[in-house]
A and B are shown apart, each in its own frame.
Chain A
Amino acid sequence: AQSVSQHNHHVILSEAASLELGCNYSYGGTVNLFWYVQYPGQHLQLLLKYFSGDPLVKGIKGFEAEFIKSKFSFNLRKPSVQWSDTAEYFCAVSRFVYNQGGKLIFGQGTELSVKP
């Protein structure tokens, strides 16, 4: 079955630590890749996306992600996290489906807790 897998359910870091959240998907062919963030009590916001081109994608708030096609991975990174990065992070994959737009399939989510 087609799926998106996030390796870590809950990550706890201290401020200034580096972050890497893993994401793997099982679709073949062309996919679009996304990372969304959900801050406590807020709606999902787009962090970054990859459609084509440079596999290293830079997003908002200092986040970046690297698409490695051979590994079916799209890991999210940030060199130095802040307390305000505490949130739930979702990796998502979309493939064009006729008459259904770009259906998004989400990973399970990773809860990031940053200690001040």
Chain B
Amino acid sequence: GAVVSQHPSRVICKSGTSVKIECRSLDFQATTMFWYRQFPKQSLMLMATSNEGSKATYEQGVEKDKFLINHASLTLSTLTVTSAHPEDSSFYICSALSGSPTDTQYFGPGTRLTVL
């Protein structure tokens, strides 16, 4: 089956620093990748949608200058949390879609970000 990986799985950083999270589709080409945020015991909230080679589309309320998304290739998307603050601490999950918009999204294992 389709596999999506994320790196790192856990990261702890100091307030004010930037953190980059990678999302890779390992055995398929992802035309579209999605980034979600999940708070403890809560649902996934879509942050943004990225298509390879174009600018990401952010959901309402998500700061595009704070959460920089790059989808440089069909197998890699990155999320950079800039000038991180403790309130950015969360579980960040990516998913990848191959081809048709009606296809299944495959999810990565998530990245636990803790900002001190």
Q: Which residues of A contact B (CB under 8 A)?
A: 32, 34, 36, 42-46, 49, 51, 90, 94, 96-97, 99-109, 111
Query: Which one, B10-18, B61-69, B96-104, is touching chain A?
Result: B96-104
Tally of contacts, chain A with chain B, CB under 8 A: 66
Within the complex, what minimum Cβ distance (angstroms) separates A111 from chain B?
Answer: 8
Contacts of A34 in B (CB 8 A): 104
A sample of 7 inter-chain contacts (CB < 8 A) reads A49-B104, A94-B101, A99-B57, A101-B31, A101-B97, A103-B34, A104-B34
B105 at the A/B interface (Cβ < 8 Å)?
A: yes
A90 to B32, CA, bound (A): 21
Contact in complex: B46, A109 (CB < 8 Å): no
Contacts of A32 in B (CB 8 A): 102
Contact in complex: A43, B107 (CB < 8 Å): yes
Q: Of B34, B43, B105, which contacts A107 at CB under 8 A? A: B43
**Known contacts A100-B32, A100-B57, A102-B102; is A90 also within 8 Å of B109 by CB?**
no
* Residue interface bits B19-57, CB-to-A below 8 A is 1, else 0: 000000000000110100000011111100101001001
Within the complex, what minimum Cβ distance (angstroms) separates A30 from chain B?
Answer: 10
Within the complex, what minimum Cβ distance (angstroms) separates B114 from chain A?
Answer: 17
Contacts of A90 in B (CB 8 A): 43-44
Contact in complex: A106, B44 (CB < 8 Å): yes
Contact in complex: A46, B44 (CB < 8 Å): no
Contacts of A99 in B (CB 8 A): 51, 54, 57
